[in-house]
Chain A
Amino acid sequence: MTPPSTPGDLPGTPPPDHLAATVPVPAGAVLEAHGVQHAYRRTVALRGVDLRVDAGEVVAVTGPSGCGKSTLLHAAAGLLVPQAGTVTLLGRDLARLTEDERALLRRREVGIVLQFGQLVPELTAVDNVALPLLLDGHPADGARRLALDWLERCGAEDVAATMPSDMSGGEAQRVAVARALVTGPSVVFADEPTGSLDTLAGRQVLGLLVAAVRERGASLVIVTHDNTVAARSDREVRLVDGTVASEAVLR
Protein backbone atom coordinates (compact mmCIF):
# COMPACT_ATOMS: atom_id res chain seq x y z
CA MET A 1 0.00 0.00 0.00
CA THR A 2 1.23 3.46 -0.84
CA PRO A 3 0.70 6.06 1.84
CA PRO A 4 -0.95 9.25 0.65
CA SER A 5 1.15 12.23 -0.27
CA THR A 6 1.32 15.03 2.22
CA PRO A 7 1.65 18.76 1.60
CA GLY A 8 5.26 18.36 2.69
CA ASP A 9 5.98 16.92 -0.73
CA LEU A 10 5.61 20.28 -2.40
CA PRO A 11 8.79 21.94 -3.52
CA GLY A 12 9.89 24.78 -1.33
CA THR A 13 8.93 23.33 2.01
CA PRO A 14 11.55 21.95 4.33
CA PRO A 15 11.91 18.18 4.62
CA PRO A 16 10.29 17.25 7.94
CA ASP A 17 8.35 14.00 8.27
CA HIS A 18 7.35 14.13 4.65
CA LEU A 19 8.37 10.58 3.97
CA ALA A 20 6.12 8.48 6.06
CA ALA A 21 7.24 4.96 5.28
CA THR A 22 10.11 4.72 7.70
CA VAL A 23 11.32 1.32 8.79
CA PRO A 24 14.09 0.49 11.21
CA VAL A 25 17.51 -0.04 9.61
CA PRO A 26 20.50 -1.70 11.23
CA ALA A 27 22.84 0.90 12.67
CA GLY A 28 25.16 2.24 10.04
CA ALA A 29 23.30 0.99 6.98
CA VAL A 30 22.25 3.66 4.50
CA LEU A 31 21.02 1.11 2.01
CA GLU A 32 19.58 -2.35 2.46
CA ALA A 33 18.28 -4.29 -0.47
CA HIS A 34 16.84 -7.77 -0.02
CA GLY A 35 15.89 -10.33 -2.61
CA VAL A 36 15.66 -7.78 -5.38
CA GLN A 37 14.30 -9.25 -8.61
CA HIS A 38 13.60 -7.49 -11.83
CA ALA A 39 12.99 -8.53 -15.42
CA TYR A 40 12.64 -6.58 -18.62
CA ARG A 41 10.46 -7.84 -21.39
CA ARG A 42 12.66 -10.70 -22.47
CA THR A 43 15.59 -10.53 -20.05
CA VAL A 44 15.84 -11.28 -16.37
CA ALA A 45 18.16 -8.60 -14.96
CA LEU A 46 18.15 -9.39 -11.25
CA ARG A 47 17.44 -12.81 -9.75
CA GLY A 48 17.24 -12.01 -6.06
CA VAL A 49 20.06 -9.71 -5.01
CA ASP A 50 20.98 -8.53 -1.52
CA LEU A 51 23.04 -5.39 -1.11
CA ARG A 52 23.93 -3.52 2.03
CA VAL A 53 25.88 -0.27 2.13
CA ASP A 54 27.09 1.25 5.35
CA ALA A 55 27.46 4.92 6.15
CA GLY A 56 30.69 6.26 4.72
CA GLU A 57 31.30 3.18 2.62
CA VAL A 58 32.36 3.23 -1.02
CA VAL A 59 30.96 0.16 -2.76
CA ALA A 60 31.69 -0.83 -6.34
CA VAL A 61 29.10 -2.94 -8.15
CA THR A 62 30.86 -4.67 -11.02
CA GLY A 63 30.23 -7.39 -13.53
CA PRO A 64 30.13 -8.09 -17.23
CA SER A 65 27.80 -6.24 -19.52
CA GLY A 66 24.24 -7.36 -19.00
CA CYS A 67 24.85 -8.71 -15.49
CA GLY A 68 22.18 -6.47 -13.95
CA LYS A 69 24.44 -3.96 -12.24
CA SER A 70 22.75 -0.88 -13.67
CA THR A 71 19.33 -2.22 -12.84
CA LEU A 72 20.47 -2.81 -9.27
CA LEU A 73 21.74 0.76 -9.02
CA HIS A 74 18.50 2.14 -10.41
CA ALA A 75 16.51 0.08 -7.93
CA ALA A 76 18.75 1.17 -5.05
CA ALA A 77 18.46 4.83 -5.99
CA GLY A 78 14.69 4.67 -6.33
CA LEU A 79 14.80 5.32 -10.07
CA LEU A 80 13.06 2.01 -10.64
CA VAL A 81 10.79 -0.06 -8.44
CA PRO A 82 11.83 -3.70 -8.71
CA GLN A 83 9.20 -6.36 -9.28
CA ALA A 84 10.16 -8.21 -6.10
CA GLY A 85 12.24 -7.61 -3.03
CA THR A 86 12.65 -4.61 -0.76
CA VAL A 87 14.93 -1.61 -0.94
CA THR A 88 15.38 0.47 2.17
CA LEU A 89 17.21 3.70 1.46
CA LEU A 90 18.02 6.02 4.36
CA GLY A 91 15.40 4.30 6.45
CA ARG A 92 12.64 4.50 3.84
CA ASP A 93 11.08 1.50 2.18
CA LEU A 94 11.15 2.79 -1.38
CA ALA A 95 8.26 0.68 -2.65
CA ARG A 96 6.00 2.28 -0.10
CA LEU A 97 6.72 5.82 -1.25
CA THR A 98 4.88 7.55 -4.06
CA GLU A 99 6.80 8.51 -7.18
CA ASP A 100 6.81 12.13 -5.96
CA GLU A 101 8.14 11.11 -2.59
CA ARG A 102 10.93 9.10 -4.21
CA ALA A 103 11.78 12.07 -6.43
CA LEU A 104 11.94 14.29 -3.37
CA LEU A 105 14.15 11.83 -1.52
CA ARG A 106 16.50 11.66 -4.50
CA ARG A 107 16.63 15.41 -4.86
CA ARG A 108 17.28 16.19 -1.22
CA GLU A 109 19.28 13.32 0.20
CA VAL A 110 20.74 11.44 -2.73
CA GLY A 111 23.23 12.40 -5.43
CA ILE A 112 23.15 10.69 -8.82
CA VAL A 113 25.81 10.74 -11.53
CA LEU A 114 25.20 8.92 -14.81
CA GLN A 115 27.48 7.97 -17.67
CA PHE A 116 26.73 10.94 -19.90
CA GLY A 117 26.12 13.54 -17.23
CA GLN A 118 22.47 13.94 -18.17
CA LEU A 119 22.69 17.70 -17.80
CA VAL A 120 19.66 19.77 -18.73
CA PRO A 121 20.64 20.98 -22.21
CA GLU A 122 18.81 24.31 -21.93
CA LEU A 123 20.68 25.42 -18.80
CA THR A 124 24.20 26.69 -18.18
CA ALA A 125 26.50 24.70 -15.91
CA VAL A 126 25.81 26.88 -12.90
CA ASP A 127 22.04 26.62 -13.40
CA ASN A 128 22.30 22.86 -13.84
CA VAL A 129 24.12 22.60 -10.54
CA ALA A 130 21.76 25.03 -8.81
CA LEU A 131 18.69 23.22 -10.14
CA PRO A 132 18.12 20.79 -7.26
CA LEU A 133 18.30 23.71 -4.84
CA LEU A 134 16.02 25.91 -6.94
CA LEU A 135 13.48 23.09 -7.22
CA ASP A 136 13.51 22.95 -3.45
CA GLY A 137 12.67 26.64 -3.24
CA HIS A 138 16.06 27.93 -2.15
CA PRO A 139 16.59 31.60 -3.03
CA ALA A 140 18.23 31.88 -6.43
CA ASP A 141 21.17 33.99 -5.21
CA GLY A 142 22.23 31.53 -2.56
CA ALA A 143 21.66 28.53 -4.82
CA ARG A 144 23.85 30.00 -7.55
CA ARG A 145 26.58 30.92 -5.07
CA LEU A 146 26.62 27.38 -3.71
CA ALA A 147 26.55 25.99 -7.24
CA LEU A 148 29.54 28.12 -8.21
CA ASP A 149 31.34 26.96 -5.10
CA TRP A 150 30.82 23.33 -6.09
CA LEU A 151 31.82 23.97 -9.69
CA GLU A 152 35.04 25.43 -8.34
CA ARG A 153 35.66 22.44 -6.09
CA CYS A 154 35.10 20.17 -9.06
CA GLY A 155 37.48 22.17 -11.23
CA ALA A 156 34.70 23.27 -13.57
CA GLU A 157 34.46 26.98 -12.73
CA ASP A 158 35.67 27.88 -16.22
CA VAL A 159 32.51 26.46 -17.78
CA ALA A 160 30.10 27.96 -15.23
CA ALA A 161 28.35 30.03 -17.90
CA THR A 162 28.68 27.38 -20.64
CA MET A 163 25.83 25.35 -22.09
CA PRO A 164 26.21 21.55 -21.96
CA SER A 165 26.45 21.31 -25.76
CA ASP A 166 29.63 23.41 -25.65
CA MET A 167 31.35 21.33 -22.97
CA SER A 168 33.79 18.46 -23.37
CA GLY A 169 32.77 15.11 -21.92
CA GLY A 170 35.09 15.62 -18.96
CA GLU A 171 33.70 19.08 -18.24
CA ALA A 172 30.12 17.81 -18.40
CA GLN A 173 30.95 15.02 -15.94
CA ARG A 174 32.58 17.49 -13.54
CA VAL A 175 29.41 19.57 -13.68
CA ALA A 176 27.34 16.42 -13.11
CA VAL A 177 29.45 15.58 -10.05
CA ALA A 178 28.97 19.12 -8.72
CA ARG A 179 25.22 18.81 -9.23
CA ALA A 180 25.14 15.47 -7.43
CA LEU A 181 26.97 16.91 -4.43
CA VAL A 182 25.46 20.40 -4.14
CA THR A 183 22.63 19.31 -1.87
CA GLY A 184 25.00 17.60 0.54
CA PRO A 185 23.62 14.08 -0.02
CA SER A 186 24.42 11.32 2.43
CA VAL A 187 24.55 8.77 -0.35
CA VAL A 188 25.68 9.14 -3.95
CA PHE A 189 24.89 6.71 -6.78
CA ALA A 190 27.09 6.70 -9.85
CA ASP A 191 26.43 4.59 -12.94
CA GLU A 192 29.58 4.25 -15.09
CA PRO A 193 30.40 7.88 -14.33
CA THR A 194 33.65 7.71 -16.29
CA GLY A 195 32.42 5.38 -19.01
CA SER A 196 32.22 8.09 -21.65
CA LEU A 197 35.60 9.65 -20.88
CA ASP A 198 39.15 8.87 -21.94
CA THR A 199 41.44 7.34 -19.31
CA LEU A 200 42.97 10.49 -17.92
CA ALA A 201 39.77 12.56 -17.81
CA GLY A 202 37.95 9.56 -16.34
CA ARG A 203 40.50 9.19 -13.57
CA GLN A 204 40.31 12.84 -12.72
CA VAL A 205 36.52 12.84 -12.49
CA LEU A 206 36.54 9.62 -10.50
CA GLY A 207 39.21 10.89 -8.13
CA LEU A 208 37.18 14.02 -7.62
CA LEU A 209 33.98 12.13 -6.91
CA VAL A 210 35.55 9.65 -4.50
CA ALA A 211 37.50 12.36 -2.66
CA ALA A 212 34.43 14.59 -2.28
CA VAL A 213 32.30 11.72 -1.01
CA ARG A 214 34.96 10.52 1.43
CA GLU A 215 35.58 14.04 2.69
CA ARG A 216 31.90 14.38 3.55
CA GLY A 217 31.71 10.93 5.09
CA ALA A 218 28.93 10.12 2.62
CA SER A 219 28.40 6.73 1.01
CA LEU A 220 29.01 5.99 -2.64
CA VAL A 221 27.63 3.19 -4.75
CA ILE A 222 29.43 3.10 -8.06
CA VAL A 223 28.53 0.82 -10.94
CA THR A 224 31.46 0.09 -13.21
CA HIS A 225 33.00 -2.48 -15.52
CA ASP A 226 36.39 -0.82 -15.06
CA ASN A 227 38.68 -2.65 -12.62
CA THR A 228 40.67 0.49 -11.87
CA VAL A 229 37.46 2.19 -10.78
CA ALA A 230 36.48 -0.79 -8.62
CA ALA A 231 39.92 -0.64 -7.02
CA ARG A 232 39.06 2.76 -5.53
CA SER A 233 36.23 1.26 -3.49
CA ASP A 234 36.16 -0.25 -0.01
CA ARG A 235 34.20 -3.27 -1.16
CA GLU A 236 33.44 -4.87 -4.48
CA VAL A 237 30.14 -6.62 -5.11
CA ARG A 238 30.37 -8.61 -8.30
CA LEU A 239 27.22 -9.51 -10.18
CA VAL A 240 27.08 -12.26 -12.72
CA ASP A 241 23.88 -12.96 -14.57
CA GLY A 242 21.66 -11.21 -12.06
CA THR A 243 23.07 -12.71 -8.88
CA VAL A 244 25.91 -11.77 -6.54
CA ALA A 245 28.84 -13.94 -7.66
CA SER A 246 31.37 -12.68 -5.14
CA GLU A 247 32.12 -9.94 -2.66
CA ALA A 248 35.54 -8.67 -1.69
CA VAL A 249 36.55 -6.29 1.08
CA LEU A 250 39.38 -4.22 -0.34
CA ARG A 251 39.97 -1.83 2.54
Chain B
Amino acid sequence: MCIVIGMSTADVVLALLSRGPAHGYDLKRGHDTWFDQGRPLAFGQVYATLARLERDGLAAVAHTETGGGPERTVYEITPAGRARLAAWVAEPAEPAAPGADELIRKTVAALRLGLDPAGFVARQRAAHLRRMRALEQTPATDPTSRLVVEHAVAHLDADLRWLEVAAGYVSTDGAAAPVQLLHHVAAGDHSDDSPDDQSDDSPDDHSDDRSRA
Protein backbone atom coordinates (compact mmCIF):
# COMPACT_ATOMS: atom_id res chain seq x y z
CA MET B 1 0.00 0.00 0.00
CA CYS B 2 1.63 3.20 -1.12
CA ILE B 3 0.03 6.36 0.14
CA VAL B 4 2.91 8.77 -0.23
CA ILE B 5 3.62 9.17 -3.87
CA GLY B 6 5.71 11.67 -5.73
CA MET B 7 7.46 12.73 -2.55
CA SER B 8 10.85 14.22 -2.97
CA THR B 9 13.17 11.75 -1.29
CA ALA B 10 16.03 14.23 -1.16
CA ASP B 11 13.97 16.71 0.82
CA VAL B 12 12.86 14.05 3.26
CA VAL B 13 16.42 12.79 3.75
CA LEU B 14 17.47 16.36 4.36
CA ALA B 15 14.69 16.74 6.90
CA LEU B 16 15.80 13.56 8.66
CA LEU B 17 19.42 14.69 8.66
CA SER B 18 18.44 17.98 10.28
CA ARG B 19 17.71 16.02 13.46
CA GLY B 20 21.43 15.22 13.80
CA PRO B 21 24.23 13.30 12.06
CA ALA B 22 23.11 9.90 10.79
CA HIS B 23 24.24 7.10 8.52
CA GLY B 24 22.28 5.54 5.69
CA TYR B 25 20.55 2.91 7.76
CA ASP B 26 19.40 5.48 10.35
CA LEU B 27 17.92 7.56 7.55
CA LYS B 28 16.12 4.62 6.00
CA ARG B 29 14.65 3.69 9.37
CA GLY B 30 13.68 7.29 10.05
CA HIS B 31 11.96 7.55 6.69
CA ASP B 32 10.06 4.29 7.13
CA THR B 33 8.88 5.38 10.59
CA TRP B 34 7.62 8.72 9.38
CA PHE B 35 5.81 7.20 6.43
CA ASP B 36 4.95 3.76 7.68
CA GLN B 37 1.98 3.47 5.33
CA GLY B 38 4.16 4.24 2.36
CA ARG B 39 6.73 2.34 0.37
CA PRO B 40 9.91 1.66 2.38
CA LEU B 41 12.93 3.60 1.23
CA ALA B 42 15.39 1.35 -0.64
CA PHE B 43 18.99 1.38 0.57
CA GLY B 44 20.25 2.10 -2.91
CA GLN B 45 18.08 5.18 -3.02
CA VAL B 46 19.37 6.38 0.35
CA TYR B 47 22.97 6.23 -0.77
CA ALA B 48 22.28 7.73 -4.17
CA THR B 49 20.39 10.54 -2.47
CA LEU B 50 23.16 11.16 0.04
CA ALA B 51 25.72 11.31 -2.78
CA ARG B 52 23.58 13.87 -4.57
CA LEU B 53 23.09 15.96 -1.42
CA GLU B 54 26.85 15.87 -0.81
CA ARG B 55 27.58 16.89 -4.39
CA ASP B 56 25.17 19.83 -4.08
CA GLY B 57 26.72 20.94 -0.79
CA LEU B 58 23.53 20.27 1.19
CA ALA B 59 25.04 17.44 3.26
CA ALA B 60 28.59 16.51 4.17
CA VAL B 61 30.43 13.53 5.60
CA ALA B 62 30.78 14.02 9.36
CA HIS B 63 32.98 11.00 10.03
CA THR B 64 33.18 7.27 9.43
CA GLU B 65 32.39 4.64 12.04
CA THR B 66 34.53 1.53 12.02
CA GLY B 67 33.51 -0.15 15.27
CA GLY B 68 33.36 -3.94 14.65
CA GLY B 69 31.23 -4.26 11.51
CA PRO B 70 31.62 -2.72 8.09
CA GLU B 71 32.66 0.90 7.80
CA ARG B 72 29.74 3.32 7.95
CA THR B 73 29.72 6.87 6.74
CA VAL B 74 27.90 9.33 8.97
CA TYR B 75 26.49 12.39 7.24
CA GLU B 76 25.41 15.76 8.58
CA ILE B 77 23.36 18.59 7.16
CA THR B 78 25.21 21.74 6.01
CA PRO B 79 24.01 25.35 6.49
CA ALA B 80 23.02 25.35 2.82
CA GLY B 81 21.08 22.16 3.51
CA ARG B 82 19.24 23.80 6.39
CA ALA B 83 18.36 26.76 4.19
CA ARG B 84 17.09 24.42 1.48
CA LEU B 85 15.01 22.48 4.04
CA ALA B 86 13.47 25.67 5.40
CA ALA B 87 12.62 26.84 1.89
CA TRP B 88 11.10 23.47 0.99
CA VAL B 89 8.83 23.45 4.04
CA ALA B 90 7.89 27.09 3.54
CA GLU B 91 6.70 26.47 -0.03
CA PRO B 92 3.15 25.06 -0.25
CA ALA B 93 2.91 21.71 -2.03
CA GLU B 94 1.57 21.77 -5.56
CA PRO B 95 -2.07 20.66 -5.42
CA ALA B 96 -2.46 17.38 -7.26
CA ALA B 97 -2.62 18.06 -10.99
CA PRO B 98 -6.09 17.27 -12.33
CA GLY B 99 -6.71 15.00 -15.24
CA ALA B 100 -3.86 12.61 -14.73
CA ASP B 101 -5.64 10.26 -12.43
CA GLU B 102 -6.84 6.78 -13.30
CA LEU B 103 -10.04 7.40 -11.37
CA ILE B 104 -10.82 10.41 -13.51
CA ARG B 105 -9.98 8.61 -16.75
CA LYS B 106 -12.22 5.67 -15.90
CA THR B 107 -15.06 7.80 -14.65
CA VAL B 108 -15.10 10.02 -17.69
CA ALA B 109 -14.99 6.98 -19.97
CA ALA B 110 -17.71 5.10 -18.06
CA LEU B 111 -20.04 8.09 -17.97
CA ARG B 112 -19.39 9.40 -21.47
CA LEU B 113 -19.75 5.99 -23.06
CA GLY B 114 -22.69 5.04 -20.87
CA LEU B 115 -20.92 1.83 -19.85
CA ASP B 116 -23.20 0.93 -16.94
CA PRO B 117 -22.46 4.27 -15.28
CA ALA B 118 -24.60 3.53 -12.21
CA GLY B 119 -22.81 0.23 -11.72
CA PHE B 120 -19.47 1.93 -12.24
CA VAL B 121 -20.19 4.54 -9.61
CA ALA B 122 -21.46 1.92 -7.15
CA ARG B 123 -18.40 -0.29 -7.61
CA GLN B 124 -15.98 2.61 -7.37
CA ARG B 125 -17.76 3.86 -4.29
CA ALA B 126 -17.54 0.45 -2.63
CA ALA B 127 -13.83 0.19 -3.47
CA HIS B 128 -13.15 3.59 -1.95
CA LEU B 129 -15.18 2.86 1.17
CA ARG B 130 -13.42 -0.46 1.67
CA ARG B 131 -10.07 1.23 1.44
CA MET B 132 -11.21 3.90 3.84
CA ARG B 133 -12.42 1.26 6.27
CA ALA B 134 -9.08 -0.54 6.12
CA LEU B 135 -7.27 2.73 6.79
CA GLU B 136 -9.54 3.55 9.72
CA GLN B 137 -8.62 0.22 11.24
CA THR B 138 -4.90 0.81 10.85
CA PRO B 139 -3.48 1.05 14.33
CA ALA B 140 -1.90 4.42 14.93
CA THR B 141 1.70 3.70 15.84
CA ASP B 142 2.55 7.34 16.39
CA PRO B 143 0.92 10.71 15.77
CA THR B 144 2.55 11.39 12.40
CA SER B 145 1.66 8.02 10.96
CA ARG B 146 -1.92 8.78 12.00
CA LEU B 147 -1.62 12.06 10.12
CA VAL B 148 -0.58 10.24 6.97
CA VAL B 149 -3.61 7.97 7.33
CA GLU B 150 -5.87 10.99 7.83
CA HIS B 151 -4.51 12.48 4.62
CA ALA B 152 -5.34 9.32 2.69
CA VAL B 153 -8.83 9.19 4.23
CA ALA B 154 -9.47 12.80 3.32
CA HIS B 155 -8.42 12.13 -0.27
CA LEU B 156 -10.69 9.12 -0.55
CA ASP B 157 -13.50 11.24 0.85
CA ALA B 158 -12.80 13.94 -1.73
CA ASP B 159 -12.84 11.32 -4.50
CA LEU B 160 -16.18 10.01 -3.28
CA ARG B 161 -17.73 13.46 -3.23
CA TRP B 162 -16.34 14.20 -6.66
CA LEU B 163 -17.69 10.91 -7.99
CA GLU B 164 -21.14 11.91 -6.82
CA VAL B 165 -20.92 15.29 -8.47
CA ALA B 166 -19.31 13.94 -11.64
CA ALA B 167 -22.10 11.46 -12.11
CA GLY B 168 -24.57 14.31 -12.26
CA TYR B 169 -22.52 16.46 -14.63
CA VAL B 170 -21.05 14.28 -17.32
CA SER B 171 -23.13 13.67 -20.40
CA THR B 172 -23.17 10.54 -22.46
CA ASP B 173 -21.56 11.17 -25.84
CA GLY B 174 -24.20 11.70 -28.49
CA ALA B 175 -27.05 11.92 -26.04
CA ALA B 176 -28.80 15.18 -25.35
CA ALA B 177 -29.88 14.42 -21.82
CA PRO B 178 -27.34 14.27 -19.01
CA VAL B 179 -26.65 10.93 -17.43
CA GLN B 180 -29.19 10.82 -14.65
CA LEU B 181 -27.47 8.89 -12.00
CA LEU B 182 -27.81 10.16 -8.54
CA HIS B 183 -30.64 12.62 -8.56
CA HIS B 184 -34.03 12.89 -10.11
CA VAL B 185 -34.26 9.23 -11.05
CA ALA B 186 -37.95 8.55 -11.49
CA ALA B 187 -38.57 11.79 -9.69
CA GLY B 188 -41.25 12.91 -12.04
CA ASP B 189 -41.63 16.66 -11.78
CA HIS B 190 -41.11 16.99 -8.07
CA SER B 191 -38.26 19.28 -7.28
CA ASP B 192 -35.34 17.89 -5.33
CA ASP B 193 -34.89 21.27 -3.77
CA SER B 194 -38.35 21.61 -2.37
CA PRO B 195 -38.49 22.72 1.26
CA ASP B 196 -40.14 19.42 2.09
CA ASP B 197 -36.70 17.87 1.98
CA GLN B 198 -36.34 19.32 5.41
CA SER B 199 -39.19 17.24 6.62
CA ASP B 200 -37.40 14.18 5.36
CA ASP B 201 -34.05 14.56 6.99
CA SER B 202 -35.49 15.88 10.20
CA PRO B 203 -39.05 14.74 10.62
CA ASP B 204 -39.68 16.95 13.59
CA ASP B 205 -43.18 15.67 14.14
CA HIS B 206 -41.58 12.81 16.00
CA SER B 207 -38.89 14.49 18.02
CA ASP B 208 -40.88 14.57 21.21
CA ASP B 209 -41.61 10.91 21.66
CA ARG B 210 -38.02 10.09 20.64
CA SER B 211 -36.41 11.96 23.48
CA ARG B 212 -38.69 10.38 26.00
CA ALA B 213 -38.80 6.94 24.50
Instruction: Indicate the size class of the contact surface on chain A.
Output: 35 or more
**Are B211 and A118 in contact (CB-based, < 8 A)?**
yes
**In the assembled complex, A138 has its CB within 8 A of some CB on chain B:** no
> Quick one: given A70-B203, A103-B213, A241-B184, are A43 and B190 in contact (CB under 8 Å)?
yes
Bound complex: CA A106 to CA B212 (Å) = 10
Distance to closest chain A CB from B79 (angstroms): 39
**Are B190 and A120 in contact (CB-based, < 8 A)?**
no
Bound complex: CA A110 to CA B202 (Å) = 20
**Are A71 and B122 in contact (CB-based, < 8 A)?**
no
Residues 192-234 of chain A, each 1 if its beta carbon lies under 8 Å from chain B, else 0: 1000000000000000000000000000000000011011110
Distance to closest chain A CB from B111 (angstroms): 16
Within 8 A of B (CB), among A88-131: 99, 103, 106-107, 110, 112, 114-115, 118-120, 131
**Are B203 and A238 in contact (CB-based, < 8 A)?**
no
Within 8 A of A (CB), among B144-165: 153, 156-157, 160-161, 164
**Are B199 and A40 in contact (CB-based, < 8 A)?**
yes
Bound complex: CA A79 to CA B161 (Å) = 30
Question: Which A residue sits closest to B192, measured CB to CB?
Answer: A66
Q: CB < 8 Å: which of A69, A227, A232 contacts B160? A: A227
**Are B190 and A42 in contact (CB-based, < 8 A)?**
yes
**Are A44 and B164 in contact (CB-based, < 8 A)?**
no
Question: Which B residue sits closest to A118, measured CB to CB?
Answer: B211
Question: Which A residue sits closest to B128, measured CB to CB?
Answer: A227
CB-CB < 8 A to A245: which residues of B?
A: 118, 122, 182, 185
**Are A65 and B197 in contact (CB-based, < 8 A)?**
yes
Bound complex: CA A238 to CA B184 (Å) = 15
**Are B126 and A250 in contact (CB-based, < 8 A)?**
yes
CB-CB < 8 A to A110: which residues of B?
A: 213
Q: CB < 8 Å: which of B126, B200, B211 contacts A40? A: B200
**Are B185 and A240 in contact (CB-based, < 8 A)?**
yes
**Are A248 and B206 in contact (CB-based, < 8 A)?**
no
**Are A231 and B118 in contact (CB-based, < 8 A)?**
no
**Are A112 and B129 in contact (CB-based, < 8 A)?**
no
Q: CB < 8 Å: which of A67, A74, A233, A238 contacts B206? A: A74
Distance to closest chain A CB from B157 (angstroms): 5
**In the assembled complex, B52 has its CB within 8 A of some CB on chain A:** no
**A-binding segment of B24-32, B62-70, B96-104, B130-138:** B130-138
**Are A231 and B129 in contact (CB-based, < 8 A)?**
yes
Bound complex: CA A132 to CA B128 (Å) = 39
Distance to closest chain A CB from B130 (angstroms): 5
Q: CB < 8 Å: which of B160, B184, B196 contacts A42? A: B196
Instruction: Indicate the size class of the contact surface on chain B.
Output: 35 or more
**In the assembled complex, B187 has its CB within 8 A of some CB on chain A:** yes
Bound complex: CA A246 to CA B187 (Å) = 17
**Are A231 and B133 in contact (CB-based, < 8 A)?**
yes
Bound complex: CA A102 to CA B184 (Å) = 34
Question: Which A residue sits closest to B156, measured CB to CB?
Answer: A227
Q: CB < 8 Å: which of A103, A107, A248 contacts B125? A: A248
**Are A71 and B203 in contact (CB-based, < 8 A)?**
yes
Distance to closest chain A CB from B59 (angstroms): 38
Within 8 A of B (CB), among A56-75: 64-71, 74
**In the assembled complex, A157 has its CB within 8 A of some CB on chain B:** no
**In the assembled complex, B201 has its CB within 8 A of some CB on chain A:** yes
Distance to closest chain B CB from A233 (angstroms): 8
**Are B190 and A227 in contact (CB-based, < 8 A)?**
no
**Are B197 and A43 in contact (CB-based, < 8 A)?**
yes
Q: CB < 8 Å: which of B125, B185, B186, B209 contacts A238? A: B125
**In the assembled complex, B183 has its CB within 8 A of some CB on chain A:** yes
Q: CB < 8 Å: which of B126, B183, B210 contacts A240? A: B183
CB-CB < 8 A to B141: which residues of A?
A: none
A-B contact pairs, 17 of them (CB 8 A): A41-B199, A43-B199, A64-B164, A66-B192, A66-B197, A79-B206, A80-B206, A227-B156, A227-B161, A228-B157, A236-B129, A238-B125, A240-B182, A241-B186, A246-B126, A248-B122, A250-B126
Q: Name 15 extra pairs, CB < 8 A, besides A120-B211, A228-B157.
A: A43-B197, A47-B186, A64-B182, A65-B197, A74-B206, A118-B207, A119-B211, A120-B212, A131-B212, A231-B133, A232-B136, A243-B186, A246-B122, A248-B130, A249-B126
Q: Lowest 7 CB-CB distances: which A-B pairs, in order?
A: A248-B126, A66-B197, A246-B122, A43-B196, A231-B132, A118-B211, A106-B213
